[in-house]
Amino acid sequence: MEFTIDEMSANQRLDKVIKRTLDEAPLSFIYKMFRNKDVKVNGKKGTIDYITKAGDQISIYIKPALLEEFKKNKTLRPVNSHMDIIYEDNNLLIVNKPKGLLVHGDEDETRITLHNIFLNYLNAKGEWDPNNVTGFVPGPAHRLDRNTSGIVIFGKNEQTLQQLLTLFREKQEIAKTYLALLHGSVPKAGRIDFPLLKDPETGMVRVGHLDKGAKPALTEFEVVKRYGEYALVRAKLITGRTHQLRVHFQAIRCPIVGDAKYGDFQINKIFKERFGLSSQFLHAETFAFENVDGFLSYMSGKTFTAELPEKEQDIIKALQDGYI
């Protein structure tokens, strides 16, 4: 079996390429192939830690019956949907995710996901084939709760996706802000520094203690506009814990309007009856690349903004007009 490394799947370890290519093969079999010199790059012995480059010719010496057994053809489930694209280039794509849509699911996921829509989009443009021999699958660099709207970033190729994942993991040289509508006596600005603990069985998160397994969590926020007993705030995650904003604002007795898990149920009922709001008023508003090095250095200094959903805009207008 022979194939050429393309731009999309370049800059990854050779053993990872082979594992994706023979995705049903045991790891022991793949590493035995390297020991037996059955993997070559440009006609020479391939090593496990070799970093592939676009144009590399990869040769795998494997019996046809084993190749058929170990290489699984993939299918892309077609979906009739679209994305609200904020920015796109050859390496990445930034979209404004609507509420109610999962970013991605597991292999058996039957619901439409943003990831599936993204892959269909790339496939239709001829930028990605689900049966690409190297097995690379473009994908999102981070998650966003199903019922939180706003910015999601996808990497189209291996090098981009890996750098994005690193930026999100290290939380350096990027900055995200969220808009949230709170109820209560919201301070003009502040920092919330409460460790958070997630219950693995229920998925609920609560304020906890570091010595009992809770993880540090820090949120900064400022009031954008007040509307009586409500306030629209802009929040910045210094850390990125599950449900961090929702639990932190609950902890200072200023819950997010519409939050079914951590909010004020009576307030939620009012907004559901008047506006049909059935989930938290929380929106990933901006994403900024700061001083980014390496492959994505050209994105340094760029900030992207996702427009607030129409329903939330209507709620703000009603608050401004004094209808609540």
DSSP 143: -
Q: Verify whether residue 108 is a known catalytic residue.
A: no
Three-state secondary-structure class, residue 197: strand
Indicate if the alpha-carbon torsion angle 309, 313, 315, 319 is positive or negative. positive
Q: Which residues touch 74 (CB under 8 Å, ≥6 apart)?
A: 130, 131
For residues 284-294, one letter each, b for 16 or more C-beta atoms within 10 angstroms of the residue's C-beta and e for the rest, the string is bbbbbbeebee
Q: Are 18 and 30 in contact (CB under 8 A)?
A: yes
Segment holding 245, helix H or strand E: helix 244-251
Catalytic residue (choose from 56, 145, 259, 264): 145
Q: What is the CA radius of gyration of the chain?
A: 23
- Among residues 151, 101, 147, which one has the least CA distance to residue 263? 147
Distances from the Cα of 92 to the Cα of 41, 79, 153, angstroms = 28, 21, 7
Q: List the catalytic residues.
A: 145
